[in-house]
Amino acid sequence: GGSEAAKRQAGESAATVVEDGAVVGLGTGSTTAHAIRALGEAVESGLDVQGIPTSYQSRELAREVGVPLTTLDDASPDVAIDGADQAANGDLVKGGGAAHAREKLVADAADRLVIVVDDSKLADALSVPVPVEVLPDARTPVAARISELGGEPDLRAAERKDGPVVTDNGNLVLDCDFGTIDDPVGLATTLSAIPGVVEHGLFVGMADELHVGSADDVTVQRF
Ligand code: DER
């Protein structure tokens, strides 16, 4: 992954778009963590904001830094800030943190989606494996369908737990390598239609802004 300085540039840049009184979707991952920390500091200086977390990780961090929390039952996000594993022309692959089901829910509910990445995430075309969250019972039939589609499904193994990663929703994750993705819309539609697929990591045409951090600078792309 990219440098921490670049992630910080992007995260802190995105935090500045949050206006007083806003409801903010709090994404997952190490780049968004910089935005959440910056929001915590802004709250200390008097910013009135409520966050809607997308994972245990973003919820724990928001609580740690003092960002007040709410839920989609009680509020609608004005803006969501989130990371990505890869970005090409505003389309994203997400799910490196296996949080993409709730991330996509909050991103879709938000009026505006602000993505934060370090410059190592930029590409001309999406080509990293697409995380697909599946019902545990569905992993074998879904893996078979992915193979038929020309993808290479890989059950994501946990690191500090024996066995597979289990998501916050109690599901499993198949990382599906399709090589370069020429038709993100088509693949996203196909994946969503497979029974047993809970959510996939293709966020096509959803991002409104992309804050791209480098070691000592940040640029903003708007879509
Ligand atoms: O899981 C996710 O979608 C995260 O946003 C992830 O893809 C980005 O995490 P990072 O900022 O730690 O690279």
Contact 25, 54 (CB under 8 A): yes
Q: Are strands 49-53 and 22-26 parallel, antiparallel or unpaired?
A: parallel
Is the pLDDT score of 1 beyond 70? no
pLDDT at 201 over 80: yes
For residue 116, how far is its CA from the centre of ligand 1 (angstroms)? 9
**Residue 185 backbone dihedrals phi, psi, to 5 degrees:** -65, -50
Given its phi and psi angles, is residue 193 left (phi above 0), alpha (psi -120 to 50 degrees) or beta? Answer: alpha
Cβ proximity of 130 and 197 under 8 Å: no
Q: How far is CA 125 from CA 119, 128, 180, 214, in A?
A: 14, 9, 7, 20
Q: Answer whether 0.90 is exceeded by the pTM.
A: yes
Query: Residue 193 has which token pair?
Result: 């239609």
Q: How confident is the model at residue 2 (pLDDT cuts 50, 70, 90)?
A: confident
- Which residues are identified as catalytic? 103
Q: Is the CB of 139 under 6 A from ligand 1?
A: no
**Looking at residues 203-219, what average pLDDT do you find?**
97
Average pLDDT, the chain: 98
Q: Which residue do the tokens 């709730």 mark?
A: 102
For residues 127-156, average pLDDT: 98
Outline where 122-202 has alpha helix (H).
Answer: 139-148, 184-192
Confidence tier at 15 by pLDDT (50, 70, 90): very high
30 is written with which tokens?
């190490």
Q: Does 128 sit in the ligand 1 pocket, CB within 6 Å?
A: no
pLDDT tens column, 148-199? 999 999 999 999 999 999 999 999 999 999 999 999 999 999 999 999 999 9
Report d(CA 54, CA 61) in Å as an integer.
Answer: 11
- What's the rounded Cα separation, in Å, for the pair 5 and 137? 41
174 φ, ψ to 5°? -105, 120
Ligand 1 centre to CA of 70 (Å) is: 22
Alpha-carbon span 144 to 77, nearest angstrom: 37
Ligand 1 near 145 CB (within 6 A) = no
- pLDDT per residue as tens digits for the range 40-65: 999 999 999 999 999 999 999 999 99
Q: Rounded mean pLDDT of 213-222? A: 97
Token pair listed for 164: 């597979």
ipTM over 0.85: yes
Cα 83 to middle of ligand 1, angstroms: 5
